[in-house]
Each structure stands twice: as C-alpha cells, then as structure tokens.
Amino acid sequence: MSDIHQDISRVLISADEIQARIKVLGEEITVDYQNEDIVLVCILKGAFLFMADLCRHIRVPVNTEFMAISSYGHSTESSGVVRILKDLNESIAGRNVLIIEDIVDTGLTVSYLEQLLEARKPNSIRICTLSNKPQCHKTPVQIDYCGFILPQEFVVGFGLDYRDYYRNLPYIGVLKPEIYQK
Ligand code: IMP
C-alpha cells in the first residue's frame, strides 16, 4: 500500500499545533470585526482546509466565497501573475473582505490578488495566511493574520501541494529529496 506519510522526511508543524493556532486566529478575527460582517475569500486550491477550520472559530457573521487561481510558470516558483479559473460569485463592493491564503512565499500572488479585489471597491480588505516565508518576499505585503512563519524551504500538507498531491496531510512537512527525482 502506498502511504503519503512515508514521503515526508520531517514534520515542521504538527496537526495539533495547526489546530490550536487556527483557533487563536479565529478568536482574534472575531474581536477585530465586532459588529461587522466579513466576506471570507478562500484562495483555491491551497486554502480550502485552512478556510474550513478557521471559519468555524469565527463568531461574527461571515459569507464564504471561493476564488480558484492557477499561477503561470514553474510549479515551485511564482511569477505572481495568476489566471483566474473561478471568480467570486458575489459583489464585494462596500464589504469587508478577508483573503484566506495557504502560504505567502514571494508575496507576488497575494499582492496581485489584493490589487485585483481592491479595484472592486470593498469597504476594507485584509489578508489572513496560514503560513508565511518572510525571507522569500519579493514585494512588500501587509499580512494582517498569520498562522506560522516558515523557513525558506518547500513544504507540503494541510492544503499545500507538490504537483497537486499531499494536500490531505494533516500537518505541514518537508518531502524526502527522492520524491522530486521521480
Ligand atoms: P507566492 O510566491 O507568494 O506568489 O506564492 C504563490 C503560491 O505558490 C502559493 O499560493 C502556493 O500555492 C505556492 N507555494 C509557495 N511556496 C510553497 C511551498 O513551500 N509549498 C507549496 N506551495 C507553495
């Protein structure tokens, strides 16, 4: 039987740590948006697990929207220019938008998305990411909520993929080097 856990050399953030941190983020968001409501914009595919868990810890009213994007270029490098595969269903004009991302690496994707959504005239726009690699940023990004700071390493799990696999790992980890040679 093939087992995806055997492809991992190191767990960086355990499933329990992820869940505990998501609960804290949900509580912070609840406090910050008192008497408001929020449109959570989940960036697919990577943020689907994070969004699912996070929204259950937010106690102010939320709408959930999904945007599917695919980056151009090589799978482990970002150009920041993204193709929209699925756009939002509803208008965000005059609303409080919270972008939910899996990871900010170069920062190019999220800043491109922020500009794109800003043009639709929301009341406010903030960024919430499960993870962030600050040493890799190529553009200044204002991140409002961040789960974890990661080292400058390619990681998988909890939504993060390699060639569209490993999203279903309940933790964040590093792949064994031989996996990249396949
Ligand atoms: P950016 O470099 O900040 O534009 O990140 C673009 C996208 O690259 C992210 O949304 C992820 O889908 C992907 N990505 C960046 N770093 C990693 C990683 O370590 N593992 C898996 N995907 C990553």
pLDDT tens digits for range 69-103: 887 655 556 666 788 999 999 999 999 999 999 99
- Ligand 1 touching residue 51 (CB < 6 A): no
Active-site annotation, residues: 105
Domain assignment present for residue 3? The answer is: no
At residue 86, the pLDDT reads 96
Ligand 1 atom with the smallest distance to the CA of 150 is: 19
Q: What is the pLDDT of residue 182?
A: 73
161 located within any domain: no
Sequence-distant (≥ 6) Cβ neighbours of residue 47 within 8 angstroms: 100, 101, 102, 130, 159
| Cα Dmax for the chain | 52
Nearest CA to ligand 1 atom 11: 103
Asked if the structure places residue 172 within a domain, the reply is: no
Name the phi and psi angles at 8, rounded to 5. -95, 130
Q: Which helix (H) or strand (E) holds 100?
A: strand 96-104
Q: What residue's CA is closest to ligand 1, atom 17?
A: 154
Query: What's residue 82's pLDDT?
Result: 82
Domain that holds residue 73: 15-151
Is there an atom of ligand 1 within 6 Å of 109 CB?
yes
Quote the pLDDT of residue 18.
Answer: 98
Digitized pLDDT (tens) for each residue of the chain, 182 residues in all: 899 999 999 999 999 999 999 999 999 999 999 999 999 999 999 999 999 999 999 999 999 999 998 876 555 566 667 889 999 999 999 999 999 999 999 999 999 999 999 999 999 999 999 999 999 999 999 999 999 999 999 999 999 999 999 999 999 999 999 999 87
Does some domain include residue 53?
yes
Query: What pTM, to 2 d.p., does this model score?
Result: 0.95
Rounded CA gap, 76 and 157, in Å? 15
The count of domains in the chain is 1
What the block records as the tokens of 97 is 């938008």
Q: Residue 107 domain-assigned?
A: yes
Q: Is the peptide bond before 176 cis (omega within 30 degrees of 0)?
A: no
* Residue 104 covered by a domain: yes
Whether 4 is covered by a domain: the verdict is no
User: Helix, strand, coil shares of the chain as percentages rounded to 5?
Assistant: 25, 35, 40
Residue 103 CA to ligand 1 center (angstroms) comes to: 6
Is residue 168 domain-resident?
no
Confirm or reject: Cβ of 155 under 6 Å from ligand 1.
Answer: yes
Q: What is the CATH number for 53? A: 3.40.50.2020
The closest of 108, 118, 116 to 84, measured between CA atoms, is 116
